[in-house]
Amino acid sequence: MKISIINDNKDEIEILIKSLSDFDEFELSWIALDSETAINQISQNKPDLLLLKLNLKFVDGAILTKILFDISNVAILLLSKFIDGNQSKIFEAMGNGALDVVESPYLSNNILVGRDELIKKIKILKKLIKFNDKENNKTKIQNLKINNNTKIVAIGSSTGGPKALASLFSKIPANTKAAFIIIQHVDAQFAFGLADWLQNYSNLPIHIAKSNTCPENGNIYIASTNDHLYLNEFAKFEYSSKPIELHFRPSIDIFFESLSKNWKNSGIAVLLTGMGYDGAKGLLELKNKGWHTIAQDEFSSVVYGMPKVAKELNAACEILPITQIALAILNKI
């Protein structure tokens, strides 16, 4: 696996290389200490994965993310020393195409801290970058009749999702009578930060989806753990670590399929920008159950992966740019 590094601190680069040295599949492609070098290198030698320091001294890491992604569509893993204080910048960069973020490894009393988490992230992204279109295991959830007046709008998103979600919810009025449920591929430690950040663009209150609670009209819910969110037979949120082998976490397909099995009324399901295929089969299942399904179009997607698969499966009733999806949802509500 060819990995490149953009970092303006040579000591941090050495720590990164040391962290990766025991990773058998690691091959260092190139190192850039500044944005100009990075832009030149990415144009000529695209790696499988780019490790990009978020807080570079002379350039905004979120802006550089967009530049590099627009040039090469490269897979980007952000590195940050202070994740808690950088969440707005992290979500901006993820909206510009970064796949994920991890704390930068560092030395403490000559002990390397953070290496295992870095390798774990890289292994997950390796599966995502070179995803195998295997049949997803289905969660076995009993199908019972549910009486509920809540109107569900289920939204799946991944790479580029934060920006797309911000654009969508900025156009949803405060009096909208629907429960919006977001399955965004994001590590659990960033779910609360995403909710806080997204609240800046939303007229509706945003909550973390909590186990054993029911979605209610007039609210937005975000999946909050590395486990899979689903709706159980009593129309309540639950989380499950299974299927363990799914590297898309939380899985959009798992949630969409649980709606198909356990939600009596039809609703609206939306699949936004993202790498891979997660959500496409679930979207098709909901369409076949009478749901109105929407996929983001290629032009407005940061990565045209998940919605592309949905299009190929004929899973979307409508294929729309992100600027038109909110209105389409409101018309159906």
Q: Which of 19, 80, 157, 158 is catalytic?
A: 158
Residue 51 CA: distances (Å) to CA of 9, 17, 34, 94: 13, 11, 13, 13
Alpha-carbon gap, residue 91 to 78, rounded angstroms: 11
Strand positions, DSSP E, the chain: 2-6, 27-32, 49-53, 76-80, 100-103, 106-108, 111-113, 152-157, 179-184, 206-208, 219-222, 228-231, 237-240, 268-271, 292-296, 318-320
Q: Rounded to 10 degrees, what is the CA torsion of 63, 66, 68, 73?
A: 170
Q: What does the block give as tokens for 248?
A: 């898309």
Burial class (CB in 10 A: 0-12, 13-18, 19+), 168: buried
| 211 catalytic per annotation | no
DSSP H or E run through 250: none
Q: Are 86 and 62 in contact (CB under 8 A)?
A: no
Q: Which of 19, 185, 253, 260 is catalytic?
A: 185
Q: Which of 48, 227, 278, 297 is catalytic?
A: 278
Alpha-carbon gap, residue 43 to 34, rounded angstroms: 15
| Count of beta carbons in the 10 Å neighbourhood of residue 136 | 18
| 158 catalytic per annotation | yes
3-state secondary structure 104-138: CCEEECCEEECHHHHHHHHHHHHHHHCCCCCCCCC
Residue positions counted in the chain: 333
| 185 catalytic per annotation | yes
Alpha-carbon gap, residue 245 to 135, rounded angstroms: 11
**Beta-bridge partners for 155:** 182, 270
Please measure the distance between the N-terminal and C-terminal CA atoms of the chain and give it in whole angstroms: 46
Which are the catalytic amino acids?
Answer: 158, 185, 278
